[in-house]
Structure 1
């Protein structure tokens, strides 16, 4: 029988926070993170909805858990797709969960969302017995992902589905020959971050199929979603690119050449004629891998 956490746990923040790396960042720049996550939800709304619609859930779930929910990109898409469901949204960041609750209240969904601040590598939160667990861009941050997979398996209702969504790092926005004075700048920035991530997040880019099978799941489906969004969303994509490149700069600046750093700063200067907001050739390019695994 599905158990939904009691309403008293709606704002439970009693667990030690687990920092979710570059995708979720650190306390001092929560505002930047929140902006990126909110823009991510807006820009990729149709793609996220299509992923959720594709999931082989069977009967409509009444209780869903969103692990590493951020500000609710997946949470609200899940609520929309399953109008009778309640979602337990789990994240390490109190700021992200506050933002999620604000959005839920504004959309009249507060009574269908339960937030839990938790360290998923430490004390496992009480998720009840969800029929669907969604983990987007969170599993590769785990110190011991195999243990987390076993915990998800134990929490799921028999026959329940676990959806693991992983993305290929930050999206790309610029053409390969941009900017004009430093072509290939964006790829060089990503290469720097990739080197850092190899050390900090060894499970990034993993094939989660064998790991899910080892944890007792049956992998029913896999999918690669290619994202390529451009005009007419130029203004929205510009703001998304600006926020994302600011985050990339914070992680890559020390390893970039002086010339690359100058070119990047010109892109990030909203008053500069070379500002990324003035470009009409931006596109959001990324890929997301999805594994749908059943607890049998």
Structure 2
């Protein structure tokens, strides 16, 4: 998940959980189309967050064990709680680790390494890719899923008093993202090749779906996180309109709109070590 700036674990976890709910079928479709030579038994989920990928992989591969890795103890705690609630805690191991650090913990020899919306957060992704190559079992697959940016939700002519507000708010933080998340939206194919992988598949998936309470909450949470970083770059009229959208009790709240739709693109790279 791409984030405009730093937030608390609980705040970030809410967005990750909503992302998992909204894109559940989308993620399941990605796991179903991976070019695997055989069903993986040992999977590593790098930058697992609160478990969207972990649980999709457990559902897709019922005989697999997943090692879920993240820097956040809070996210891993929530993931373990979900695993227990789903009755799959015996198939999940959680590992807290900084993947940009010099020393990685023992993650075994996985048949599949999954990294969804996590690599663009790495300060040294080239080094991370080389370590994944060393980690994989012979013939194992590395699946990278990355997003072009945070989803859009509002129609182009909304809100009625400030049409195009959402795009202007995102444009206001382009410089922040360029500085702090320089690899967001990158083409990972050449980087995978340089790290010693052969890219066996690449496809970009367009997602557009609307309706439902989860989409409203997802839009509200995402734009609320965006506001702080975007505020200095917005004119007062835009900022006031954004605050109206974020006012949960107001008549113009995002939570009351019926015209929201999630629009985004995600690209999947499937690579095998040479």
* Residue equivalent to 1:157: 137
* Residue equivalent to 1:102: 81
- Of 200, 204, 211, the residue aligned with 2:184 is 204
RMSD of Structure 2 on Structure 1 (CA): 1.3
Q: Which ranges of structure 1 fall in alignment gaps of 5 or more residues?
A: 1-19
Distance 1:273 1:32 in 2: 24
- Of 88, 91, 95, the residue aligned with 2:70 is 91
1:125 has 2:105 as partner? yes
Distance 1:137 1:97 in 2: 16
Moved over 6 A (4+): none
1:246 Cα shift?
Answer: 0.9
* Residue equivalent to 2:3: 22
1:21 Cα shift?
Answer: 6.7
Contact 1:130 / 1:155 at 8 angstroms: preserved in 2?
yes
* Residue equivalent to 1:256: 234
What TM-score do you get using the length of structure 2 for normalisation? 0.96
Contact 2:173 / 2:233 at 8 angstroms: preserved in 1?
no
Deviations 1:196-215, CA, capped at 9 Å, x for gaps: 11011222221111111111
1:146 has 2:126 as partner? yes
Distance 1:284 1:149 in 2: 30
Summarize the alignment of residues 108-257 of structure 1 with structure 2, pairs less than 5 Å apart. Answer: 108-122=87-101, 123-231=103-211, 234-257=212-235
Q: What is the aligned residue count?
A: 273
1:125 Cα shift?
Answer: 2.2
User: Aligned to 1:290, what secondary structure does the other structure show?
Assistant: strand
Summarize the alignment of residues 50-65 of structure 1 with structure 2, pairs less than 5 Å apart. Answer: 50-65=29-44
- Of 35, 39, 52, the residue aligned with 2:14 is 35
Contact 1:166 / 1:288 at 8 angstroms: preserved in 2?
yes
* Residue equivalent to 1:265: 243
Contact 2:121 / 2:183 at 8 angstroms: preserved in 1?
yes
**Which deviates more from structure 2 when the two are superposed, residues 239-248 or residues 79-88?**
239-248
Deviations 1:254-280, CA, capped at 9 Å, x for gaps: 322211111111001111100011111
1:229 Cα shift?
Answer: 0.6
Q: Which ranges of structure 2 fall in alignment gaps of 5 or more residues?
A: none
Distance 1:104 1:125 in 2: 22
Contact 2:99 / 2:122 at 8 angstroms: preserved in 1?
yes
